[in-house]
Amino acid sequence: MKVLSHWPVSLALLTTLSTAGANQLLITEYLEGSSNNKALELTNRSDQPLDLSRYRVDVYFNGSTSAGASLNLNGSLAPNASYVVAHASANDAILSVADQTYGGGLFNGDDFIALTRDDQIIDSIGQLGVDPGSQWGDGVASTQNATLRRNVEILDGDTDVNDVYDVNAQWQGFASDDSSDLGQYLTTPPETGELGQCGESYTLISAIQGTGEESPLTGEAVNIEAIVSYDGTEADALRGLFVQSATADIDLSADTSEGLFIYTGSESVEVSVGQRIRLRGNVGEYYGQTQLSQIADWTLCAGQEEQPSYQVITLNEQNLPQLEPYEGMLVSFVEPLTVTSVDNLFRYGELLLSSHGRQMIPTDVVRPGLEAEALAERNRSNRLVLDDGSTRSNPQPIPYPAPELSADYSVRVGDQVNQLSGVLGYGFNQFRIHPTQRVQLEFSNPRVADPQQLNPDFYDPEQLTIGSFNVLNYFNGDGLGNGFPTSRGADNATELQRQQDKLVAALGNLNADIVGLMEIENDGYADTSAVAQLTAALNNELGGDVYAFIAVVADKLGGDQITQALLYKPARVELIGQVATTAEEPFDYGNRQPLAASFKPVNSNDALTVVVNHFKSKGGCPRDGSLNEDQNDGQACWNELRTQAASALVDWLASNPTQASTRGTVLLGDFNAYSQEDPLQVFLNGGFVNSANYMTNSHHSYLYQAESGALDHLFLSADIANLVSAANVWHINADEVPQLDYNVEGKSELQLDQLYRPDSYRASDHDPLIVQLDWPVIPTNEAPVAGFKAYHFWLFTYFKNTSSDADGHIVENQWTFSDGYQSRRKHVLRLFWWPNQTQVSLTVTDNEESSTTITKSFE
C-alpha cells in the first residue's frame, strides 16, 4: 500500500518547502468520471497570490500534438488556495466547488493535459503526442474513470512532456466520481492544547468515529487513551499506528467503530502492540479514513490492559457487510475471500479480494443497462484490499504468496485467502486489511500445463482442433535483430527473445491444427516479417516444418500497425479456395480487416472456413455526439462501430469470399466485446453458436480493473456447432501477475531472473481458446474376410465360399488351383482326386477394392 501523509511535515516546514521549492500553480487533483464528471483542481504552491489570467489549461485529444481545447483562467489565487475547473455539465457535487466551468469536451483518460503560464508549460498530465489507448496507469491509479490526487510533497510541475508517463510517481488513485476532497488540497491544522495525564478525561474513539462516514469532530484537537493494536511506525511501514478502545470504553452502538489510525509521520513513537497510550492530536479525514494527525504529544500509560479482541466479520449471502463500523479495528473473516485482482501486487504488494468469488465484467454475464449497472455496484461494494502494511513501492521481496513471489511460485486470480485477520484501514477509496497473522493462501486456481489437462478428450488424432490467441503486440524490429524500439511490443532484442520464447511455448502447448493470431506486427510476409519469424521459431522448437502461415496477396493486411494471422499444420489440413479479406466500411477504420481462409482436413472430404478478427477497442472515445460515445450502459466506447462490424462480417461471409465449398464457418478472435454485448448478439441472431456453451471451465479470457470477462470468442455456424467435442479457455495469462511477462523495465537484476521463465505463463494478457471438432473423416475400409470349405462326394469336390465383408460387399471372387485351374464363380465344383497334394487359393475383393486371400492344402 502507498499512503500519503495528510501533513507529512509541520506547517512551518511545509511553508518553508513551498517558499524554497515551489513558485507556481500546480495541478493537484484530476477527476475523470462518468458522463461529464470532469474536473481539475489547481493549487497555488507559492507564497504569493497568483494572477490567474496568465495561466491556461490546454487539452490535446487522442495523441494529437495540437491542443483541441483551451481554457483561459481568470481571477486571483491566494497562497495554498485551490481553484477548480470543471465541465459545465458535471454533477452537483463537482459544480458546487467549481470556480470556472467549460462547456465543450474537456478530457478523457487518453488525453494529454498541459497547464501553461505565459504560453510556457509548467505542469502536465500524460505524454504529449501519445495515445495510450484508454488511459495512462492501471488499477486504481489511472487517468480513466478515476480520481487522482497529487502527493503533497510534490512542489514542482511536470514539464517533461515527452517522457513515459508514470501515474504512480506523483499521484494517488481513487474511485471514479470521487470529488470528496476537490478544492481542499491544503488546509490549515487546528491549534493543539495540553496532553494531560493518563487517566484524566479523554475523548472516546467511538465519539471520534461517529456513526457516519466522516467524523463529527473533524478539525478538533482531542486527547485519547487506547490500546495499541497495530504498530506501523517502522520505516517504509504505514507511518503510524492503530489503536483500539479498552474494554471499559467500548460503547454499545453497532454503528460506531472502536478503532482509529494515528498518523505519526516521521516522528519517532516507540510503542509495542498491547500497550496503553495517551496522545493528543487533530481529528481529520485523510482520503476517507478517520485519523488523528499532527500529534502534539504522547505518553505510555502504566498498568496491564485486556488486549482488544478481533471483531469476527461474516458474509451475508456472499456480500460484505457495511465495513465503516469496523474501520480501524482488529477484524477476522471466517469465510474465504477470493483473489479478484493481482495488478497491484508488484507495485504495492497488494491483492484485491472479493467476497463472492471471481468478479465478472457485468456485461459478460448480463445484458447492458440497468442490470449491468447493478452488478457493477455489487462488485465494487464487495472488495477488500489485502495490504502488506507498507508504503513501499516495488517491494522486494514481493510478499504474496509468502515468503515471496516468483515465476514458479505465484498467486493467481481465483485463488482464495482463508481466515484472514488484521486491522481494517481505508485508503485509495478501498477498505484494506493489514494482516496481523500469516496469510493463509489457498491455490484454488492452479496452473494447467496444456489444454489436455483441462479436458482429456483434446487431441484425438481423428478430430480437428482450432485455436485463437492474441499475442500482445509481437513486433520483431527489422527481423534481423535490430530496428528497436518499435511502436509497440518489445523495446529491444533481449525483450523480443523473452517474449518469443513464451509465445512459442504457449503455441506449442496449444497444439491447434489451425490457430488465429491477433496483435501481430503488420509488416508483410517476407522472411524478416513478424509472422514469418514467429512461425520459424515455433517450427524450430517443434523440430520440423509443423506450421505454415497464410500470406495475403497484398504486402500487408490493412493499414493498422497490428494485424491478424492464420497458422496451420499442412500435415493435418489443406488450404483450399482463395484467401480473402475486405477493407470495406466498417473495416476501413478501427476494426481491423478480417482474414478468411478455407481448409479441408487431409482425412476428410468436408471443408470449413475460418475467419480471424480483431474489432475496435473500447478506448480512445470520440466526442462527436454519435452512438460511438460511451452510452454508460457498460459497453464503453465504439460499441456501435463494433456492432456494425459484426453485421458486415455476417453479410460478407454470406457471399462465400473464399470461393470454396465448405460445410460451415468458424469466427474467432478478439472482438473487444464481452459475452452479452451487442456485437455478439448479431452473431447469435445470425445463426452462429458461441463455443463457450460447450466449455467446462470459466470462459473469461481477460481481466480489466479487477473484473474478468471474455473479449476473445470462437463462434461456429449452426451446421457444425453440433460437432464440438471439447472446448476450453486455457487460462495461462489473464489470471497471472502481469510482471511475470517478458518486460525487463522496472525490475531489479534479481527479479529479471526470479520472475521470468520461458514458459507459457503470462505470454500475453489474453488467454487462448481452443475448440475440438469431431469432423467427418473419410471412412476407413475394413478388408473382407476370405474363407471357404471343401466337401468331397465320390469323384467330386465342392468348394463352398464362406467369405464376408463387414462394412460393404464382395464384388469379385478369384479361385486358383495348383493344377492351373481358375474360376471367378462364387462356389466351385470339381471332378478330381488328390494324387499327392493340391493347393487351393481364394482371393475376394470388396466394393472399396480391398482384397484378401486364403490358401488351403489338401492331401
Distance between CA 519 and CA 713 in Å, rounded?
15
Residue 183 placed within a domain: no
Report which of 243, 241, 324, 239 is spatially closest to residue 289, judged by C-alpha positions: 324
Distance between CA 243 and CA 223 in Å, rounded?
13
Q: Could you write out the three-class secondary structure of 672-726?
A: CCCCCCHHHHHHHHCCEEEHHHHCCCCCCCEEECCEEECCEEEEEEHHHHCCEEE
313 by Cβ neighbours in 10 Å (0-12 / 13-18 / 19+) ranks as: buried
Q: Could you write out the three-class secondary structure of 308-364?
A: CCCEEECCECCECCCCHHHCCCEEEECCCEEEEECCCHHHHCCEEEECCCCCECHHH
CA distances from 471 to 368, 564, 674, 765 (A): 28, 10, 19, 8
Residue 317 · residue 378 · CB < 8 Å: no
Residue 520 · residue 557 · CB < 8 Å: no
pLDDT in tens, 109-159: 999 999 999 999 999 999 999 999 889 987 668 999 899 999 887 888 999
320 and 302, same structural domain? no
DSSP code, position 161: T
317 and 286, same structural domain? no
Report which of 596, 598, 722 is spatially closest to residue 661, judged by C-alpha positions: 598
The domain that contains 340 carries what CATH number? 2.40.50
pLDDT at 130: 92
708 and 580, same structural domain? yes
524 and 661, same structural domain? yes
Q: What percent of the chain has pLDDT over 70?
A: 95
Residue 187 placed within a domain: no
Residue 194 placed within a domain: no
pLDDT at 407: 97
Confidence category of residue 780, pLDDT binned at 50, 70, 90: confident
The domain that contains 55 carries what CATH number? 2.60.40.1260
pLDDT at 400: 96
304 and 276, same structural domain? yes
Residue 13 has pLDDT above 50, yes or no: no
Per-residue pLDDT, averaged over 412-436, amounts to: 95
Confidence category of residue 18, pLDDT binned at 50, 70, 90: very low
Residue 571 placed within a domain: yes
* More confidently predicted of 60 and 193: 60
Q: Does the global pTM surpass 0.85?
A: no
Residue 390 placed within a domain: yes
Per-residue pLDDT, averaged over 263-268, amounts to: 79
pLDDT at 11: 27
Q: Which of 248, 279, 308 is the last residue of a domain?
A: 308
Distance between CA 85 and CA 102 in Å, rounded?
8
The domain that contains 491 carries what CATH number? 3.60.10.10
Residue 307 has pLDDT above 90, yes or no: no
The domain that contains 249 carries what CATH number? 2.40.50.200
pLDDT in tens, 499-526: 999 999 999 999 999 999 999 999 999 9
Expressed as residue numbers, the domain containing 353 is 312-442
301 and 158, same structural domain? no
How many of the other CB atoms lie within 10 Å of CB of 194?
11
Q: Which of 308, 331, 363 is the last residue of a domain?
A: 308
pLDDT at 140: 65
222 and 109, same structural domain? no
Q: Provide CB contacts within 8 A for 293, sequence distance 6+.
A: 5, 6, 7, 189, 262, 263, 265, 281, 282, 284, 286
Per-residue pLDDT, averaged over 172-201, amounts to: 78
Confidence category of residue 835, pLDDT binned at 50, 70, 90: low
Confidence category of residue 31, pLDDT binned at 50, 70, 90: very high
User: How much is the mean pLDDT over the chain?
Assistant: 91
Q: What percent of the chain has pLDDT over 90?
A: 75
Distance between CA 772 and CA 767 in Å, rounded?
17
pLDDT in tens, 664-697: 999 999 999 999 999 999 999 999 999 999 998 9
486 and 370, same structural domain? no
745 and 798, same structural domain? no
Confidence category of residue 9, pLDDT binned at 50, 70, 90: very low
Q: Which of 719, 739, 773 is the last residue of a domain?
A: 773
Report which of 33, 705, 698, 1 is spatially closest to residue 354, judged by C-alpha positions: 705
Residue 3 has pLDDT above 90, yes or no: no
Number of domains in the chain: 5
pLDDT at 738: 97
695 and 605, same structural domain? yes
Residue 848 placed within a domain: yes
Residue 196 placed within a domain: no
* Bridge partner list, 353: 339, 384
* More confidently predicted of 239 and 189: 239
Residue 200 placed within a domain: no
| 3-state SS, residue 510 | helix
727 and 595, same structural domain? yes
Per-residue pLDDT, averaged over 706-725, amounts to: 97
Per-residue pLDDT, averaged over 764-781, amounts to: 93
584 and 491, same structural domain? yes
pLDDT at 21: 36
pLDDT at 834: 59
pLDDT in tens, 194-234: 899 999 999 999 999 999 888 999 989 999 999 999 999 88
